[in-house]
Structure 1
Amino acid sequence: MKTHQPDERLVFVDLETAGLKPWRPIVQIAAIAVDCNLQELERFEAKIKFNENFANPKSLRNASYSAQRWRTEGLPSKIVMKMFTELLRHHATVDQISASRSVFQVAQLAAHNGAFDGAFLRVWYDRAGEFLPASPRVFCTLQRAIWLFHEDKSLTPPPDFKLQTLCHYFGVPLRSSDAHDALNDVRATVELYRAMSRHIDDLSARKLRSCG
């Protein structure tokens, strides 16, 4: 007999920013929505036009920013926000309760270093006077990795928990030349989460066998 699978989705997101403080501009955003089985449903990527006077030049270099490419491919912030909002609403599966006690749904975001991306998204939407249709709690693959190494003592922790380090550890392809592009990074984050999920399943199975 088939069991009903809840329609629980995750929207993985990655941002490239013009600095480390949330008031700095977001210059690129990418997202991949997945279902409860971590199968991809939709993906999104956009480069955002911004005022370079508010940018940290070092951060722009780290984000592989190209003024010429952004002039050609960049879109106004309001348009990108509208497109991203539509994606979030399309994959909203988390119940929230409004001030009037009515129930509505928002998306569940996931990111590597979710606190960083979450803060930038909240400031971006607040500055525009728009509602961010996502749960304020952003799932974090960095934190999940820390828990995983705590749970499985047979694993030797890596030297750090950066995305590229963890991808190398779990066999997820992410070349240095491809890193710090939002779409490449969000693809790698999804694959990292899948790899950790498989490891957790294997760990659970080993524990069950040892108790049996």
Structure 2
Amino acid sequence: MSDPLQSLFSRCDSVLVFDTETSGLSWQRDEIIEFSAIRLTASGTEEVDEFVRCTRSLPPRIVELTGITDDLLREEGIGKQAFAELLAALLTPGTMLAAYNAQFDLLFLYAFLQKYGDARLLQDKQKLDLLTVYRDRRAYPHRLCNAIEQYDLQDRVTNSHRAIDDVRATVEVLRAMGTERDDLERYVDLFGYSSKYGISGPRISSVRYLPQGYEPKAAPLYAGL
């Protein structure tokens, strides 16, 4: 049986599927508190999961949602410089970045690297947003938990608002998408956005943006292209 991600590997050396937990929703004000990634290659996988110390106390709603506490970050988290060095080691040439709702996570990574590392590490990387793919394939709603259910992955993965669980789920969703339809390479560097709400945050310069509808009968991203 052929690898469902073969078309992606023809464009890159590896696919780094990643997810973050953050202290809030603002990429300008809030911070990454957990970073998880799984590097996929034609020969295997490599997993990374790190807590990152925060410069201020976590809001109670974040603690309740994620189960991550100030004490946990203080005792098990790595510092900002160590995290910057980890990202530099992961963001190697030939790496494609993939995430579910990648716009959100990429803005946080950019803001972090701009302050503590080298944001140019993100510029030459191909990018794949699985939320964009899922919007083209299924009707609303489009959360990661919905994709897990639609691809019948409930017994294999967990959507827990913890980065490590969510990145494992995202990998399985990606594989299911590749098995379902061999067109993932068409979505590289192409992000969809809600035609009703617009793009969340600034545009990423290396990405092309196109509107997508929420209605079940709405035209897919590629209609008419």
Q: Specify if TM > 0.5.
A: yes
Whose helix proportion is higher, 1 or 2? 1
Is the partner of 2:174 in helix, strand or coil? helix
Conservation of the 8 A alpha-carbon contact between 1:32 and 1:40:
no
Task: Identify the residue that residue 157 of structure 2 maps to in structure 1.
Answer: 174
Task: Identify the residue that residue 168 of structure 2 maps to in structure 1.
Answer: 187
User: Shift of residue 61 of structure 1?
Assistant: 2.5
The residue identity in structure 1 corresponding to 2:50 is: A
Task: Identify the residue that residue 126 of structure 1 maps to in structure 2.
Answer: 114
Cα deviation per residue 1:140-172 (whole Å; 9 max; x = unaligned)? 1111111223xxxxxxx3x41111111111012
Task: Identify the residue that residue 34 of structure 2 maps to in structure 1.
Answer: 28
> Which protein is bigger by CA-based radius of gyration?
1
Conservation of the 8 A alpha-carbon contact between 2:84 and 2:117:
no
**Residue of structure 2 aligned with 1:12, choices 17, 33, 56:** 17
The alignment's TM-score, normalised by the length of structure 2, stands at: 0.68
Conservation of the 8 A alpha-carbon contact between 2:21 and 2:35:
yes
User: Shift of residue 136 of structure 1?
Assistant: 6.0
The residue identity in structure 2 corresponding to 1:119 is: L
Cα deviation per residue 1:34-59 (whole Å; 9 max; x = unaligned)? 12x5x643211100011225x44323
Indicate whether 1:43 and 2:32 are aligned.
no
Once residues 24 and 139 of structure 1 are traced to their aligned partners in structure 2, the CA distance between those partners, rounded to angstroms, is 24
Task: Identify the residue that residue 215 of structure 2 maps to in structure 1.
Answer: none
Q: Which region of structure 1 is more displaced relative to structure 2, 111-120 or 131-140? A: 131-140
Is the partner of 1:52 in helix, strand or coil? coil
Indicate whether 1:139 and 2:139 are aligned.
no
Once residues 16 and 113 of structure 1 are traced to their aligned partners in structure 2, the CA distance between those partners, rounded to angstroms, is 13
Once residues 172 and 117 of structure 2 are traced to their aligned partners in structure 1, the CA distance between those partners, rounded to angstroms, is 34
**Residue of structure 1 aligned with 2:68, choices 60, 65, 69:** 65
CA shift in 2, pair 1:25/1:51, >3 Å:
same
User: Shift of residue 68 of structure 1?
Assistant: 2.7
Cα deviation per residue 1:120-150 (whole Å; 9 max; x = unaligned)? 000001112523423466311111111223x
Conservation of the 8 A alpha-carbon contact between 2:84 and 2:116:
no
Q: How does 1:112-123 map to 2 (within 5 A)?
A: 112-123=100-111
CA shift in 2, pair 1:132/1:64, >3 Å:
farther
Conservation of the 8 A alpha-carbon contact between 1:19 and 1:60:
no
The alignment's TM-score, normalised by the length of structure 1, stands at: 0.72
Once residues 86 and 30 of structure 1 are traced to their aligned partners in structure 2, the CA distance between those partners, rounded to angstroms, is 14
Aligned-CA RMSD value: 2.2
Once residues 59 and 142 of structure 1 are traced to their aligned partners in structure 2, the CA distance between those partners, rounded to angstroms, is 23
Number of equivalent positions:
170
CA shift in 2, pair 1:182/1:138, >3 Å:
same
Identity, % of aligned positions: 24
Once residues 118 and 40 of structure 1 are traced to their aligned partners in structure 2, the CA distance between those partners, rounded to angstroms, is 24
Once residues 60 and 126 of structure 2 are traced to their aligned partners in structure 1, the CA distance between those partners, rounded to angstroms, is 30
Give the gaps of 5 or more residues in structure 1.
Answer: 94-106, 150-156, 203-212
Task: Identify the residue that residue 85 of structure 2 maps to in structure 1.
Answer: 82
